[in-house]
């Protein structure tokens, strides 16, 4: 698709360009701004799909600019006047920036020739403000307290007129309004305004691109929406760039492993955009696990992989909570799961008895988090410390049953064929609570509360993470959530959680 980003040199626009360049669904990007837009640091545009267009006059579109924009399938409108500059800009100019330019843009773009199949409208995403009202509301009080009431009404008017034009365009255009609060990024300090939520720059950009590519579910995208909650970062196995996807993810591999002393953190991939990570460079940075996992995924034809150490920003408690609540789904939806057993030497050629003995002693089978990582994916491939394949959960089902006490039938191809995805999760709920809890009886986690949190996906429940509450309270909350969905009294047979399932001392 061909995407126009208005305000491409700005704070949000630059991030949109960065993510759009690594998104395979977008084939052409036109960045339109008052000054030249450079390709973001750390990104290359080898295919030449990005073009910067400088334009000073947005009251009318020149024939040359229209030519550049022909065939545009979507436009994300990011321009605005920052609150600190509102009073230094005339009211007339603010009217143009907030309202008039956007209306002219959607009218112009909707009238240009497009190459997509007939019946698919232009998608126009207008970024407004969290408190911008389309009519008098209680939000007006908040706006008035900060001297922004008139500007809020102006943006609300722009929202209404953009939506109205799309409605009356006879299918030529559809529009959506994004209403974020404060948009944050690492190192950016923002004031605390009661009632005004915050959202990460990478997340809002990913949500906007998702809407432009896949279409709109509703006409207004709030700061926190179902699409944001379903966000998932994936690591490109060739470039090692992180990209956030909403709703529809490309096929991806996923890694299951036990943590060591030298894991590749999220910050490695985002903190230094001035240099482009490559496999050899990362190897030198002593993260061979990521290198090997990416190499294996590429050999199997996967451009994307999910690895917990580098795909979750653990400095954000909100993101960490949402990721852990979504973890089972991440593994369930993967095309293949690589289970890396760093303490196993044998390979697929070893005698069955030796293989069973070696696997049984592996630390991987003692950790709490790896339980769902074994059950959720349809395909699990086991690899030894040298990344030589040991077998799959289908070929090793008898050994796995002996080690884990999980019925071998749950590892079979028939199970995952008949009970794909959510149906498999629902079918899993037919087993008794006590039986599933027994699978975790010999497993441990480093953080005490995680021994309860790591079981949420297994029971298809969700709850907030409260590190510091202790394992007893965490398990009590888990029991309460499970009890909402079942009448199975075996749940309460596991009252003495600490005696049966626990955490490491360190």
Please tell me the pTM assigned to this model.
Answer: 0.58
Predicted pLDDT at 265: 82
CA 171/CA 45 separation, integer angstroms = 34
β strands within 128-252, DSSP E: 173-179, 182-184, 198-200, 220-222, 232-236, 242-245
CA 229/CA 251 separation, integer angstroms = 19
CA 122/CA 212 separation, integer angstroms = 9
Domain boundaries for CATH 3.40.50.720 within the chain: 2-229
Mind listing the pLDDT tens digit for each residue in 26-46? Answer: 999 999 998 998 888 667 777
The two structure tokens encoding residue 349: 């050629």
Distances from the Cα of 118 to the Cα of 71, 77, 107, 193, angstroms: 12, 24, 18, 46
- Asked if the model's pLDDT at residue 11 lies above 90, the reply is no
pLDDT band at 416 (very low <50, low <70, confident <90, very high): low
- Asked if the model's pLDDT at residue 223 lies above 50, the reply is no
Greater pLDDT, 135 or 454 = 454
Q: Name every residue whose Cβ is closer than 8 Å to that of residue 374 and which is 6 or more positions away in sequence.
A: 256, 339, 380, 393, 400, 404, 406
pLDDT band at 227 (very low <50, low <70, confident <90, very high): very low
**Nearest CA-CA partner of 255 in 320, 310, 316:** 310
Mind listing the pLDDT tens digit for each residue in 449-487? Answer: 999 999 999 998 888 888 888 898 899 889 888 888 777
Predicted pLDDT at 275: 41
Predicted pLDDT at 226: 41
Mind listing the pLDDT tens digit for each residue in 364-399? Answer: 999 999 999 999 998 999 999 999 999 999 999 999
CA 76/CA 6 separation, integer angstroms = 6
Over the chain, what is the mean pLDDT?
81
- Asked if the model's pLDDT at residue 505 lies above 80, the reply is no
Q: Identify the three-state secondary structure at position 15.
A: helix
Q: Could you give the percent of the chain with pLDDT greater than 90?
A: 39
Instruction: Give the architecture-level CATH label for domain 2-229.
Output: 3-Layer(aba) Sandwich (3.40)
Mind listing the pLDDT tens digit for each residue in 191-201? Answer: 555 555 677 78
- Asked if the model's pLDDT at residue 266 lies above 70, the reply is yes
pLDDT band at 422 (very low <50, low <70, confident <90, very high): low
């Amino acid at each position: 698709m061909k995407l126009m980003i208005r305000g491409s040199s700005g704070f949000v626009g630059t991030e949109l360009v960065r993510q759009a360049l690594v998104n395979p669904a977008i084939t052409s990007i036109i960045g339109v701004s008052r000054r030249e837009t450079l390709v973001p640091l750390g990104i290359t545009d080898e295919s030449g799909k990005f073009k910067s267009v400088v334009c000073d006059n947005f009251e009318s579109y020149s024939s040359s600019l229209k030519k550049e924009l022909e065939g545009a399938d979507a436009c994300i409108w990011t321009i605005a006047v920052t609150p600190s500059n509102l009073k230094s800009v005339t009211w007339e100019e603010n009217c143009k920036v907030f309202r008039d330019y956007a209306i002219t843009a959607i009218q112009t773009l909707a009238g240009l020739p497009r190459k997509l199949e007939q019946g698919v409208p232009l998608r126009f995403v207008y970024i407004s403000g969290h408190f911008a009202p389309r009519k008098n509301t209680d939000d007006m009080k908040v706006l008035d307290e900060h001297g922004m009431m008139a500007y809020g009404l102006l943006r609300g008017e722009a929202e209404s007129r953009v939506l109205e034009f799309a409605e009356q365009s006879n299918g030529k255009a559809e529009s959506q309004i994004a209403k974020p609060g404060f948009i944050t990024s690492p190192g950016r300090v923002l004031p605390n305004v009661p009632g005004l939520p915050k959202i990460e720059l990478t997340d809002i950009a990913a949500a906007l691109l998702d809407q432009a590519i896949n279409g709109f579910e509703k006409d207004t995208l709030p700061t926190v929406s179902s699409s944001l909650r379903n966000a998932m970062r994936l690591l490109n196995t060739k470039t090692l760039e992180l990209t956030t996807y909403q709703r529809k993810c490309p096929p991806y591999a996923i890694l299951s492993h036990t943590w060591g002393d030298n894991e590749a953190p999220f910050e490695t991939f985002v903190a230094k955009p001035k240099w482009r990570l490559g496999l050899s460079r990362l190897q030198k940075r002593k993260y061979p696990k990521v290198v090997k996992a990416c190499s294996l995924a590429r050999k199997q034809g996967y451009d994307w992989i999910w690895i917990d150490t580098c795909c979750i920003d653990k400095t954000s408690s909100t993101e960490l909570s949402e990721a852990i609540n979504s973890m089972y789904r991440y593994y369930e939806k993967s095309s293949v799961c690589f289970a890396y057993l760093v303490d196993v030497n044998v390979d697929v050629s070893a005698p069955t008895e030796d293989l069973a003995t070696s696997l049984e002693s592996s630390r991987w089978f003692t950790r709490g988090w790896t339980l769902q990582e074994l059950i959720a994916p349809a395909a699990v491939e086991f690899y030894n410390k040298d990344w030589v394949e040991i077998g799959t959960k289908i070929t090793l089902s008898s050994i796995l049953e002996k080690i884990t006490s999980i019925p071998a039938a749950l590892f079979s191809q028939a199970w995952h064929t008949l009970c794909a995805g959510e149906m498999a999760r629902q079918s899993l709920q037919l087993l008794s609570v006590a039986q599933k809890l027994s699978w975790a009886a010999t497993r441990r986690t480093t953080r005490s509360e995680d021994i309860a949190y790591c079981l949420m996906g297994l029971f298809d429940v969700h709850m907030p993470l409260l590190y510091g509450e202790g394992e007893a309270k965490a398990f009590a909350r888990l029991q309460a959530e499970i009890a909402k969905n079942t009448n199975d009294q075996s749940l309460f047979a596991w009252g003495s959680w600490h005696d049966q399932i626990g955490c490491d001392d360190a």
